[in-house]
Structure 1
Amino acid sequence: MDVTDLKVVDAVARHGSMNKAASELNTVQSNVSARIRALENELGVALFQRSAKGVQVTPAGRRLLPFAARLSKLLADASSAARDDGQPKGQLEIGTLETTLALRLPRLIAQFAKAWPDVHPVVRTGTTNSLIQGVLDSKLEGAFVAGPVNHPELHVEVAFREELVLVTSCAVDSLAAVASVEHLKTVVFRIGCSYRQRLDTLLANLGILAPEPLEFGSIEAIIACVCAGVGITLLPRGVATQALREGLVNVHELPADLAEVETVFVRRVDGYLSSALATFLDSVRLDEVAALAPNAFVLTANASQSAAH
């Protein structure tokens, strides 16, 4: 097994097709098929299931894919390192929570892009779990996720701290009143969101069995549902500020153990820290405007004191 084998496996898995993988790799389908068969014979396991509709990755193939991604990233990092003269440039691909994107990143990225026009930021959103996996699989250079995080392959930095609040319709005037809501529903992001887990804990503390959640992919949709009285949610205070000012929702403070949450930036310990990423993180640390805000950025490297998320 060599680098080319892993590249072929990765391309076939992404496209679900030998032919499409061959096109990407600038070769013919027969070469791709032969390479996959030879590798399967070498390993003694099937990596793909073939059918008239294409190919599907087997469990063995799925176990191999992260290594293909990491090796591809390692080769890309080696190339980038050779060309990196300390001047930030090139693509910077990071991940973030939806809430962090809404609250924190627009101004920071705008300032960074203006200061370093040769850098092209690409921002992907997801849940904490999916973003961490993206970093581990070397699909992202790093990501802003909900802390704490403890993983031997990740370097973790505290980025900023948020205050979570319970957001309800105006008909709910207190935390205690949540228990009396008929047909209570929670309005949340998909599984893997740490705020969702904290909301379940809050309801349990109130003696409420967590209802079947309604899942949405955007903050706007979640807040709109809460405004309409569809359900309740847990979000950083800043996200709900506008709706609160407009009298569309009520916001309820939480016990400290549930309200205080850290957003951390994670990246692979063995990943290449490009000049673009290093400069971006410096710009976050030195953001004077945010440092004067109530929820100040405190991006302080502190991997050792983080706990499991």
Structure 2
Amino acid sequence: MLPPGVSMLWEDDDPAAALRGRFGFTGLTAVTGWLTTLLRGSWDLGAGPCSRLVLSGDGAVAWVCSDGGEQLVVKWSRATDRFDRLDATTATLEHLTGAGVPVAAPRRARDGACRVRAAGPAGPLSTAVFPELAGDWLDVSDTAAVRDAGAWLARTHAALADLDDAVADRVPPRSDVPLPERVGTWLTDGDPGHVLDASRRVAGLLATAPGPPGAPQVVHGDFRAANVLTREHRVVGVLDLDDAHRAHPVEDLAQACTYLTTRFRDWRPTPPQVRREFLAGYCAVRPLDAAERHWLELLALWFGVCAVPGPGDAAGWAAAV
């Protein structure tokens, strides 16, 4: 559970200074006043004081209780260049809810919008309201929960493959550069050389790779322990599709395998046994063909090499690859 009051999700900045500098709020009292006006005016909701607020980059998440007793989460972003993307990725949540994926569907505003662009003290903010999902962050020592997480990523991919084109086309691609070219360019121009043996293995796998692994589609984009809630060894919540983008599902799977263990300030590679259980859960729902298996090996290794910070590698990323 995140602490009461104002806190930083992963940065070391002073929370009060960040709240004032990024969003113009002088404290929780000011946030509560702004939220009261926003929720009443745009959502016809009354709410009590903001009890908990966490800041992360250009975004913030606030917890409030409605006057009807419902626990709500209000998210906002000041990143104006991402407002259109957030409109689209928030709309995907309603589709996922209809497909049975345990996400928090956005509460529609009075005008029917999933998100509302509101005036904040320091500039425009893109805002959305969700019901709070209760659960514990994924514990990767819980084998059953890890397998279930893999299964839910597969189900999420399957559901997103059926997303309406009008929504999917508004979600940006991860990159405009084709996947083989992207890996090849990194090998020649971007590899810092921290783990040369692993980089050579990436090059070998790329040289023998089949064509791209299927068609790109909308994918989660940040599936890891910090964004998966569990209860009694089962997934009860899939969080945070703000970074959803269009990519090959196997690329999203490889990223999840690499970063599954990570939570906020705890940034460690995924142990091999955890990765095997996660993949077993995924493949039980969505089996991989030969091309996808090849690309999964290649991409998981590539993501792992990219995660190596250099000589100060206390978490052991280099050893993991």
* TM-score when normalising by structure 2: 0.24
User: Which is higher, the Rg of structure 1 or of structure 2?
Assistant: 1
* TM-score when normalising by structure 1: 0.25
- Select the structure that is richer in strand: 1
Q: Which has the higher contact order (CA 8 A, sep 6+)?
A: 1
